[in-house]
Amino acid sequence: MATPHIEAEPGSIAPVVLLPGDPLRAEWIAENHLDDARQVTGVRNMLGFTGTVSGVPVSVMGSGMGVPSSAIYATELIRSYDVDRIIRVGSCGGLRSDVTLNQLILAIGAGTDSNINRARIGGHDFPAVADFDLLAAADEAARRRQVEVLVGTVFTSDLFYAPDGYYDAAAVHGMLAVEMETAGLYGVGAAEGARMLSILTVSDNLITGERLSTEDRQSGFDAMVAMALDVAVGTSEA
């Protein structure tokens, strides 16, 4: 049944969804990486597509930016469309000088300044962690493709324009990069009973001030999508 934010027909979304922030990225992934892709939803221009990869049904949909937007789409995908795996494919800003541009990060867990997970469990701390099987499949895909990945924690922030020094403590506590969705998605996965993983590419570095050009963003993005699709297909039943 359609939800407030997704108009897809019942059964038209695959059990596994790649979730980029930008709906035009979703369209690009559908056109370039899925076979027989067709658009299945477009409420608020938040485009979603379903196709196949190696014969396995896979969907891809935009999430918008930030915890509230991405949590809405993830919740509705799980509750109303029986999605059981969501793989975020997004960008992040490095919090250490050795986290280099185009580097891929598998987010094993996420700290956050968002209150969403505390709100779920009575103000207590919530362990926002990736699904182990998806993480292991992504790590294996990276080895097979000979793509270097960092496996570590990230910081999910509600602020894109943060005050100077805002992320220093996160970096001191080992967090590799900042982005805006992962901790919320990991909370949705736990609450709604779906498996979650964020795969991120470093698009900029907050310490060095470097940022990727538009063309260079594409190559890192391609490697990330290829790995995410390996995970999607590899964790689907034959």
Find the part of the chain contacting ligand HPA (CB under 6 A) among 31-39, 67-75, 86-94, 127-135. 86-94
Instruction: Quote the CA–CA distance of 166 and 163 in Å, as a whole number.
Output: 6
Instruction: Quote the CA–CA distance of 73 and 157 in Å, as a whole number.
Output: 18
What is the smallest separation between the CB atom of 89 and ligand HPA, expressed in angstroms? 12
For the question of residue 204 being annotated catalytic, the response is: yes
What is the smallest separation between the CB atom of 179 and ligand HPA, expressed in angstroms? 5
Instruction: Quote the CA–CA distance of 105 and 172 in Å, as a whole number.
Output: 18
Instruction: Quote the CA–CA distance of 199 and 197 in Å, as a whole number.
Output: 7
Instruction: Quote the CA–CA distance of 224 and 29 in Å, as a whole number.
Output: 11
199 binds ligand HPA (CB under 6 A): no
Q: Which is nearer to ligand HPA, 69 or 91 (CB)?
A: 91
Size of residue set near ligand HPA by CB under 6 A: 11
181 binds ligand HPA (CB under 6 A): no
Classify strands 195-205 and 104-112 as parallel, antiparallel or unpaired. antiparallel
Binder of ligand HPA out of 69, 201, 203, 236 (CB under 6 A): 203
What is the smallest separation between the CB atom of 53 and ligand HPA, expressed in angstroms? 26
Binder of ligand HPA out of 16, 30, 87, 92 (CB under 6 A): 92
Instruction: Quote the CA–CA distance of 206 and 183 in Å, as a whole number.
Output: 20
Evaluate whether 52 touches 33 at the Cβ level (below 8 Å): no
- Distance linking the first and last C-alpha atoms of the chain: 27
Whole-number Cα distances in Å, 199 to 63, 66, 137, 141, 155: 14, 16, 12, 12, 13
Binder of ligand HPA out of 133, 204, 210, 222 (CB under 6 A): 204
128 binds ligand HPA (CB under 6 A): no
Backbone angles phi, psi at 36, to 5 degrees: 50, 40
158 binds ligand HPA (CB under 6 A): no
93 binds ligand HPA (CB under 6 A): yes
Instruction: Quote the CA–CA distance of 9 and 11 in Å, as a whole number.
Output: 6
The residue annotated as part of the active site, out of 168, 204, 222, 230, is 204
Q: Which is nearer to ligand HPA, 114 or 235 (CB)?
A: 114
179 binds ligand HPA (CB under 6 A): yes
160 binds ligand HPA (CB under 6 A): yes
Q: Which is nearer to ligand HPA, 113 or 204 (CB)?
A: 204
Binder of ligand HPA out of 61, 170, 178, 196 (CB under 6 A): 178
Instruction: Quote the CA–CA distance of 163 and 4 in Å, as a whole number.
Output: 35
Q: Which residues bind ligand HPA (CB under 6 A)?
A: 91-93, 157, 160, 178-180, 203-204, 206
Residues serving a catalytic function are: 204
